[in-house]
Amino acid sequence: MSYPARAVVDLAAVRANVRSLAAHAPTAQVMGVVKADGYGHGLLPTASAAIAGGATWLGAAQMDEALALRRGGIVGPRVLTWLYAPGAPLRDALDADIDVSVSAPWALRELADAARAAGRPARAHLKVDTGLGRNGLTPDDLASLLPEVLRLRAEGAVEVVGLWSHLAFADEPEHPTVKLQAEVFADALRTVEGAGVTLEVRHLANSAATLTAPGMHYDLVRPGIAVYGLSPVPQLGGPEDFGLVPAMTLEAELANVKSVPGRHGVSYAHHYVTPGDTVLGLVPLGYADGIPRHASGTQERPGGPVRVGGRTLGVAGRVCMDQVVVDLGPGATERAGDRVELFGTGHDGGPTAQDWAEVAGTISYEIVTRVGARVPRVHVDSEAAS
């Protein structure tokens, strides 16, 4: 292996996480959300592992991602896609047997046109904005669009299989908007079902609601981050508290190790200065690889954590495009080529994506999703017979 860093993804962890999520939501089906290249873990391998763990649906924000699933040979499970602009390849989506979300009147019209062209009904999930203020039809727009929906249904162009929504504060289960959104969703369900539509799946819950709000599971839950073993509610519990195992380990080989004297500036602008004679290690991963520049370190405030030979050290100085430096300490015995870990399961006391998120002032989602395209993903299976 010539690349000196990699994101190792354990597919056994993905399978186990989906089994765990299914156990949290025993009355619902599970949609494994695999948008953004499976949250940076690799689209097809993680999608297959999610299915092996019991997911019967896959979710992808972008239509290209949904099409890539089918092109990649994932034909059994249902696939839902929900984020597109006018002129999207809806015909391709229908030909690939993909379910499509409808969030606006133009989307319904384009979907019906695509269905007529394809000569098969489109399976639509009406998305209602119950309070997130992002995508989706407002409840009023949903009510106004319903007659057109019913006409297209009668024509055979559009089957309405789902009604769905997304929560603004799922990660704060006690937040009053959670209950309010659930009430708006229940109203929207009454409106649609009252018009004579029999819905196959009603769905509202992301990872956080899957783990903390059983009343919101309905027929289908849509976990994303928890599929990859990270906690959506770190203030309430870590992965282990929810039966999850982080699937990605980001590791590298030290590209240089050298002794320097005290008061030696480290990395751009010398935000870190060695306190005394010491040994510096060079880690060949930088912001081009998704290491947040906000996780740079100074003397006062260590940067993002790096596990080196059983100890956890903070990034010293600025995170650069391709590399970061760690101060290995006086007398360190590490050599170039030694393995270091930026984050992983945390089981051995090592750093986690959540730790990096806290140093950088972000969420674990962003840490794993932004691992750069040039970092090889290596898929392993810790349960496979060797």
Chain residue whose CB lies nearest ligand PLP: 224
Query: Is 35 designated active site?
Result: yes
The residue type found at 263 is R
Task: Provide the minimum distance between the beta carbon of 354 and ligand PLP in the complex, in angstroms, as a whole number.
Answer: 14
Catalytic choice (35, 39, 127, 287) = 35
Burial string for 218-229 (b: 16+ CB within 10 Å, else e) reads bebbbbbbbbbb
Hey, what's the torsion of the CAs at 20, 24, 28, 31, to 10 degrees?
-40
Task: Provide the minimum distance between the beta carbon of 227 and ligand PLP in the complex, in angstroms, as a whole number.
Answer: 8
In SS3 terms, 287-339 reads as HHHCCCHHHCECCCCCCCEEEECCEEEEEEECCCCCCEEEECCCCCCCCCCCE
Task: Provide the minimum distance between the beta carbon of 58 and ligand PLP in the complex, in angstroms, as a whole number.
Answer: 12
Task: Provide the minimum distance between the beta carbon of 206 and ligand PLP in the complex, in angstroms, as a whole number.
Answer: 4
Q: Label residue 69 exposed, middle or buried (CB < 10 Å: 0-12, 13-18, 19+).
A: buried
| Nearer residue to ligand PLP within complex by CB, 61 or 285 | 61
Q: Bridge partners of 62?
A: 83
| Nearer residue to ligand PLP within complex by CB, 222 or 307 | 222
| Nearer residue to ligand PLP within complex by CB, 38 or 303 | 38
* DSSP H helices in the chain: 11-24, 35-39, 43-52, 63-71, 90-95, 105-118, 139-155, 176-194, 207-212, 353-360, 364-369
**Chain residues in the site for ligand PLP (CB under 6 A):** 33, 35, 61, 166, 206-207, 222-226, 232
Catalytic choice (3, 179, 258, 268) = 268
Q: How many residues does the chain have?
A: 386
| Nearer residue to ligand PLP within complex by CB, 244 or 285 | 244
Query: Is 287 designated active site?
Result: no
Query: Computed from CA positions of residues 169, 175, 180, 186, in that sequence, does the dihedral angle turn out positive or negative?
Result: positive
Task: Provide the minimum distance between the beta carbon of 373 and ligand PLP in the complex, in angstroms, as a whole number.
Answer: 20
| Secondary structure of residue 102 in the 3-state scheme | strand
Distance CA 57, CA 258 (A): 51
Conformational region of residue 92, where left means phi above 0, alpha means psi within -120 to 50, and beta covers everything else: alpha
Task: Provide the minimum distance between the beta carbon of 122 and ligand PLP in the complex, in angstroms, as a whole number.
Answer: 19
| Nearer residue to ligand PLP within complex by CB, 181 or 206 | 206
Residues recognised as catalytic? 35, 268
